[in-house]
Structure 1
Amino acid sequence: MLLTDSVATPHPISRRRIAGWLGATALALGSLGAQADTWPSKPIRFVVPFGPGGANDLVARAVAEATARQLGQAIIIENRPGAGSVLGADIVAKSAPDGYTFLAPAAGVVTNAMIKSKMPYKEDDLVPVAMMAVSPSVIVVPADSPIKDLKGLLAASKTGPGLNFSTAGTGSTPHFVAEMLKKNGAKLQVVPYKSGSEGVVAVVGKQVDATSEASVVVLPQIKGGKLRAVASTWNRRIAAMPDIATAEEQGFPNIFIGHWSGVFAPKGTPEDILDRMNRAIDAAIKSPELRARLIPQGIDPVGGTRADFVKFINAEKARLAPIAKASNMRED
């Protein structure tokens, strides 16, 4: 009975502490609510985990500019390349969840955890906000190569020592394409380069036999007569070059991947801010001005809801993780 009384009637100091905790909690919740009510009241930062000038940087800048018009507030691009996009992702994962710092990464935000032995942040430290766009991957060979389609590529790979296939390094989208081709019987020697652009230059210069890169990177080379497109690896043809057949159309539905880009926020960012940013990005992507800017370059604007983006990411993880494991993709 005395024990019950002591629990029911806490010491006065305990009361003060409890009151202080409750007050601090209410203040914090009130502060978050106030932030969401006034957001955005200052410029927003999009961290791009790659250097300037690449496909992901191009998409992020175009979408940021259009989204800024929707929000009535500037969006600043900050390039933080390094460690296969992990450096930039880690910066955002550890940023204040106040709605003023977002990550604009590519597929590495999903695949890095599959191939790296250590990660400086947890996957759930980054919250999906919106899908921006996809640059469909295109398998290419030199313009004068006898290879004209996927069946021809597989047949050519089975003669002699096989084909040399350049990639942008372990776990890159071209690396996944190479492993998908191998699962369909191709005999390939994977040749890693520091970037996709270097891998494409190697094909143009005939140091390697083939590669796969984002449409925005290879379309100028295809149109310029330096490369021949063998197939695109997305689920529909590229609007800017509709004569390139997809892998699925050629009988290879399991060769499916694209260079996608999206927007993520630090865990703990208020739901209202996440929803408002998603709606602003979606409206920007659907605008005729942005579509006219991206589509001619071979970039497919996507958009959609937060739930759409989460569903896409989960599907990517489920599809690509077994490939990474089976091919023993490892990067320290």
Structure 2
Amino acid sequence: MTSFTLADVRERTYKSRDAWWTVFLVDPLASRLVVWTANRTNITPNQITFGAGVLGLGSAVCFALADWPWLVLGALLFHLSFVLDCMDGKIARLKGNGSVFGAWVDFVFDRIRFFGCMLALLVGQWAATGEAAYLILAPVVIFLDLFRYLNGGQVAKTRQAMREKLRAAAEGRPVDGAVDDPESTETAETPQDGSEDREGAPVVFMEEVLRDNPQLKADEVRSGAHPAGAKIIDVHQGFSRKFAWYERVRDALLRSRVRPHLFSGIEFEMFVCVVAPLTALISLVAPLSSLVIPVAVLACLGLAAFEVIIVYKLWLATRDFTRELAKLQG
């Protein structure tokens, strides 16, 4: 029987960069639980996903009860549910027993858990206090969570379309200068005779190199830490020029596996369903009204701010794309 170690889990299941909440507050516990689970049980990733769903249901019930002990218990159950949610993917990668359907189940359970717990928290507080602000906040949270999923997917597709067009131009294939609809599968023209001209220089994209090699710095890549003879293309140089400090901050964060997107969907969910209900403890030692709304609003502002930054960075990247394409075609 295979005996997995903590080093195996870190090497084979850790992402090269991840949300800071996961890196510091989830992985240290989840990785140790994965070692025990993988070595001592035959539990499957889907069974762990189901367990996360059960804990999520328990969290929603606690939130609906609204009193401070239940809010605290609900926050702890939600966080443990997320720990299990991280474990299922690690078990799948470690033991190689994941499935396409399992990935779908994991995604759907994630959304159901968050929406169910968030609504139970806000509606429960409304029922307990009568404050309409809780009901007003609920659709705002739902909108932002849905928007960040849609925006993230479309931004990724647009970046991929730009990379494919630049790679095609470097290979000598005819390419137009428009960034195609991300839903389109055609990004470059191919010769009518079915052959492809791939005699151009190989292309290295800065963002891909840094993503796959977080130990490298952008300056190191520019100075030669890449395949010999390859052309480096950086479609985020405009952003780096405007914010010269960004690369230093990014490099420092990546050394700890923390991605620069400091307030992503994970932090958003955790602030709404863990930090906000935990503030009920403060009311025990200080005469303060509930801090659920202020913390949830802070989470909404944080997520919205980083989504705006992502869109702005993408806009600058499209301008760099146009310049780089002109150079390649020239």
In terms of fraction of residues, the more helix-rich structure is 2
Relative contact order: is structure 1 or structure 2 higher (C-alpha 8 Å, sep ≥ 6)?
1
In terms of fraction of residues, the more strand-rich structure is 1
